[in-house]
């Protein structure tokens, strides 16, 4: 089980009781395992290390929820940048994230309340 505390997206004023931030082209998630900022969200100039841009040129992160996998404590190399985000379409894979239809993600954002300590259960397929 992994906590769902934080959310982000491309717009201000999204209705949610999670800790929400509108991202810009200066928001990144560090995935370089040797970095002291590994698996952390940073804001600033484009890092010279491996990272994921949170304000993408597509709609995948238009709305997203951070799945608190390997965030406390962070263990280098154990995985990073695991989000629930907008899907590309039926049958389209992700790179390790959870993807759902935009309407469902908006419903989840409106329903989830960080004060209730929401979690997601993820497990391996048999």
Residue 97 in any domain: the answer is yes
109, 10 Cβ separation under 8 angstroms: no
Residue 27 in any domain: the answer is yes
Measure the CA–CA gap between 121 and 20, rounded to whole angstroms: 21
What per-residue confidence (pLDDT) applies to 92?
85
What per-residue confidence (pLDDT) applies to 19?
97
Mean pLDDT per 10-residue section of the chain, whose length is 126 residues: 97 95 96 95 92 94 97 95 93 88 96 97 81
Measure the CA–CA gap between 3 and 116, rounded to whole angstroms: 10
What per-residue confidence (pLDDT) applies to 87?
94
Residue 86 in any domain: the answer is yes
What per-residue confidence (pLDDT) applies to 91?
83
Residue 126 in any domain: the answer is no
What per-residue confidence (pLDDT) applies to 49?
92
What per-residue confidence (pLDDT) applies to 46?
86
Number of structural domains the chain divides into: 1
Residue 125 in any domain: the answer is no
What per-residue confidence (pLDDT) applies to 47?
86
Instruction: Output Rg (C-alpha) for the chain, integer angstroms.
Output: 14
Encoding tokens for residue 60?
């995948």
Residue 30 in any domain: the answer is yes
Residue 7 in any domain: the answer is yes
Give the residue numbers spanning the domain of 107. 2-120
Measure the CA–CA gap between 87 and 102, rounded to whole angstroms: 7
């Amino acid at each position: 089980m992994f906590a769902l505390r934080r959310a982000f997206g491309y717009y201000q004023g999204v209705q949610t009781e999670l800790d929400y931030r509108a991202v810009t082209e200066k928001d990144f998630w560090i995935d370089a395992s040797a970095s002291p900022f590994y698996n952390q969200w940073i804001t600033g100039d484009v890092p010279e290390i491996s990272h994921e841009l949170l304000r993408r040129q597509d709609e995948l992160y238009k709305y997203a929820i951070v799945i608190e996998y390997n965030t406390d404590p962070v263990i280098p190399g154990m995985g990073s940048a695991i989000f629930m985000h907008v899907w590309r379409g039926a049958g389209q894979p992700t790179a390790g994230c959870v993807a759902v239809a935009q309407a469902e993600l908006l419903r989840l954002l409106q329903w989830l309340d960080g004060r209730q300590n929401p979690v997601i259960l993820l497990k391996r397929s048999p």
